[in-house]
Chain A
Amino acid sequence: MLSAIAVLGAQVLRGLEYFGELSELHLRTLVHLTRGNVEYRPTIEQMSSVGVSSLPIVAVTMLFSGMVFSYHVADQAMLLGASSYVGWAVAETMARELGPALTAIVVAARAGSAMAAELGTMKVTEQIDALRTMATDPVQYLVVPRYLAAMVMVPILALVGDIIGVTGGFTMANATAGLSANSYFGSIPGNLELWTVVAGVIKAIFFGIIIAVIGCHQGLYTQKASEEVGRATTRAVVYCIMLIYAANLALTVLLFP
């Protein structure tokens, strides 16, 4: 019994320590940002890596998610005689929930894991120490560009994902319920509020920050052993997904009271 309590206590302490490390890393990143310590070339490279390279997988994910969701909604809407609202229902759901959350999870799996692997490898091969010996703060050179890239690119990807998802939804609604483009897309402008889209973007910004901070933290705190890079990568994806879901709940309650 005592040992179980000791194990539980150790886990709680480890959890607190982990969140302390995340907070410290986030704070140091914000300090560099407020001082304008931004390296432009790596930032642009990271934007390409996080944004452009993630676009195909985000597009595929959102296309099929929009189609599946539209298939269910169109089926129910036809029964209730509300088929003219199918386009709006798909767009609302995409903008509020599916767009930001699914995009963030895809980016976490692709770019968050890459951040942990890259930085972890640099740690193991002493490249992070080499940066420090050349008077370069690894947080400024490595974390700030990834933080900015994720914070900017995840919302953009989410918006693009929204459009692809709604379009995919139309193809399904048209194929299964025979909805016309006018009926499907015409229901969106009058019903979808701008705030819904803005709130989705705000969520995506937070998700981007979560991905960058967790991915970089796992990389920078990798133990010096090659198998640890793999573990850090896995942990980065798992922790990102867990925290994205938890943050999604908190942000949904805050943004849609």
Chain B
Amino acid sequence: MSERERTTMEAVQSEAPAPDAEALVEVGDIDRLRPHARPLQERPIIDRSGRPLLSIEHVTQAIEGHSIFEDVSFEVWPGEIFGIMGMSGSGKTTLLRVLIGLDKPTEGHILFHGEDITELDEDGLNRVRRSMGMCFQYSALFDSMTVAENVAFSWRNRTDVTPDAKAARVAQLLDMVEMAGTEDRMPADLSGGMRKRVSIARALMEEPELVLYDEPSSGLDPVMSCNITGLIKKVSTDTGSTAVIVSHDVPNLLGICDRMLMLHDQRVQFLGTPDDMRASEIPIVYHFVHGLGTGEMTEHCSLQTGVGTDVG
């Protein structure tokens, strides 16, 4: 730090009220600035002794004869935060759509609480979807409705809930996603990050057991991206819901996931904990985790990270 910067900082600190000692961030402890690194609430220990919430068994998806992914199998346990990573076009979003029954897989089975949802018709899928929520990449808020109407959409026909109770639930959820007081605003008036937050609140309205997040941090600056992933961790911990997150925001995913999967070349290349992923020597995983390119024009990547590109 230069002398001038030090002088300016001291001047600012002398004018500001004395901060809470707990809130002070020491140099070198920058991780404390990351919302998901704050001790919001201890993550529960994932119990893997019972039945998984979601079992994906040998799922293959092809569209018009073109294979998107093949023979994908994994399990998601209750309360877990599960990350799905992969390069652009690797089929992450397609996999998420298959998990909630928006698309039927070409082959394989998806069991939710042991029930094969690939065999269900639309009425059966609607029954299962009441236990699921989904946040879309571009939020998919209904642009003709206010924020409150968007959040309360799944309750719109409920006659057993008074308008006051509905409004209170909406306010509670908006407060949870740090959007209190925005009930009457229209989606067009919100920023990308705010729309993502409202989308998360909408997905939580029915208190789902499983929430699917499609690229929750795409299109956001690094700070907002970090805030959103922190929010996902907070929501999952506070509500006890299970989260499946599709993203290629590696640092943030590594920070909040219990386990992670990487899709590449139409197959699962990696399945394990964030620590396993950091230590992985699988070339594509290594490239992905360290932000390295795979082509010829990637010198700038290695210059930035200081890590060579001679992997694989």
In the complex, what residues of B have CB within 8 A of residue A126's CB?
Answer: 136-138, 140
User: CB < 8 Å: which of B100, B126, B132, B206 contacts A137?
Assistant: B126
User: CB < 8 Å: which of A125, A129, A134, A137 contacts B153?
Assistant: A134
Taking a contact as CB atoms under 8 Å apart, the answer to whether A133 and B127 are in contact is: no
Taking a contact as CB atoms under 8 Å apart, the answer to whether A135 and B102 are in contact is: no
**Which residue of chain B is the closest to A121 with respect to CB atoms?**
B143
Looking at the assembled complex, report how far the CB atom of A207 sits from the nearest CB atom of chain B, in whole angstroms.
26
**Which residue of chain B is the closest to A40 with respect to CB atoms?**
B157
Q: Please, what's the 1-or-0 string for B218-260, where 1 marks a CB less than 8 Å from any CB in chain A?
A: 0000000000000000000000000000000000000000000
Looking at the assembled complex, report how far the CB atom of A255 sits from the nearest CB atom of chain B, in whole angstroms.
38
CA distance A41 to B149 in the complex (A): 13
In the complex, what residues of A have CB within 8 A of residue B129's CB?
Answer: 132-135
B134: Cβ under 8 A from any A Cβ:
yes
In the complex, what residues of B have CB within 8 A of residue A132's CB?
Answer: 102, 129
A242: Cβ under 8 A from any B Cβ:
no
B133: Cβ under 8 A from any A Cβ:
yes
CA distance A131 to B226 in the complex (A): 28
User: CB < 8 Å: which of B132, B140, B143, B202 contacts A129?
Assistant: B140
User: CB < 8 Å: which of A41, A127, A137 contacts B142?
Assistant: A127
Taking a contact as CB atoms under 8 Å apart, the answer to whether B136 and A129 are in contact is: yes
CA distance A129 to B129 in the complex (A): 12
CA distance A134 to B137 in the complex (A): 16
User: CB < 8 Å: which of B132, B137, B143 contacts A133?
Assistant: B132
B130: Cβ under 8 A from any A Cβ:
yes
**Which residue of chain A is the closest to B150 with respect to CB atoms?**
A130
Taking a contact as CB atoms under 8 Å apart, the answer to whether A133 and B130 are in contact is: no
CA distance A130 to B157 in the complex (A): 17
Taking a contact as CB atoms under 8 Å apart, the answer to whether A135 and B126 are in contact is: yes
CB within 8 Å of B: which A122-170 residues: 122, 125-127, 129-130, 132-137
CA distance A39 to B157 in the complex (A): 8
B122: Cβ under 8 A from any A Cβ:
yes
Looking at the assembled complex, report how far the CB atom of B134 sits from the nearest CB atom of chain A, in whole angstroms.
4
- Which of A126, A136, A137 has the most CB atoms of chain B within a 10 A radius of its CB? A126
Looking at the assembled complex, report how far the CB atom of A63 sits from the nearest CB atom of chain B, in whole angstroms.
32
CB within 8 Å of A: which B151-171 residues: 153-154, 156-157
In the complex, what residues of B have CB within 8 A of residue A133's CB?
Answer: 100, 102, 129, 132-134
In the complex, what residues of A have CB within 8 A of residue B136's CB?
Answer: 126, 129-130
CB within 8 Å of A: which B45-81 residues: none
In the complex, what residues of B have CB within 8 A of residue A130's CB?
Answer: 134, 136, 140-142
Spell out A's residues near B (CB within 8 Å). 39, 41, 122, 125-127, 129-130, 132-137
- With contacts A133-B100, A135-B126 known, what are 17 further pairs, Cβ within 8 A? A41-B156, A125-B143, A126-B136, A126-B138, A126-B140, A127-B140, A129-B140, A130-B136, A130-B140, A130-B142, A132-B102, A133-B134, A134-B202, A135-B130, A136-B153, A137-B122, A137-B126
Pairs A-B, 5 closest by C-beta atoms: A135-B126, A130-B140, A126-B140, A133-B134, A135-B129
